[in-house]
Amino acid sequence: MRDYAVARRRMVDEQIRDAGVTDPAVLTAMREVPRHRFVPRLLHHRAYQGCALPIGHGQTISQPFIVGLMTALLELKGDERVLEVGTGSGYQAAILSRLAREVVSVERIEALALRAAKTLEDLGCANVVVRAADGGAGQPEAGPFDAVVVTACPPRLPSLLFHELREGGVLVLPIGDDDEQILYRYRKVGGEPVVERSVACRFVPMLDGVQRLDGE
């Protein structure tokens, strides 16, 4: 456990802080959450490397820098309700649980949702609810949300998810295709999206719900 703690501190200092993510609360959360608990046991020794790792079912846990960057872009203060689309391993949700009042995390692959929920429960993340559902359809019955983070890549802005934001809320997600993906932050201002372009990235595609991205 001491070795994991040392590796985790080094991960945060060298891969996240030194790469430009400086929010103290985000850095503290990432020093606290044991990333190795969210990857298969055979990959525990690689858990704190600066890369994505497979978690089964064709999915991955994102590289630590991307998790830190996406979390920092949400600008959480501690009292927000956050929607995460794409629970995956549950690692991002665990980080969010330390920074927000409530997290609703949606995963289309039931086996991953169940595994993530168990890991989060074991780690005491009591303010996270994991739901096995089509994330592209959003969670209108649970909204509105102060922030939405999407960890799979649609080809364009998902209007359904944007409309679940409160006024002034923030949506962080990758947009693109197999050739190019860019991480964006959208802020809801006067009911409309104000966009900022961030960095190149690489995520698995958003599959379910894509046909309803524009509210069709």
Catalytic residue list:
62
DSSP string, 88-137: TTSHHHHHHHTTSSEEEEEESSHHHHHHHHHHHHHTT-TTEEEEES-GGG
Work out the number of other CB atoms within 10 angstroms of the CB of residue 83. Answer: 27
Helix, strand, coil share (%) of the chain residues, nearest 5: 35, 30, 35
Cα 81–chain centre separation: 14
Which helix (H) or strand (E) element contains residue 32?
A: helix 24-32
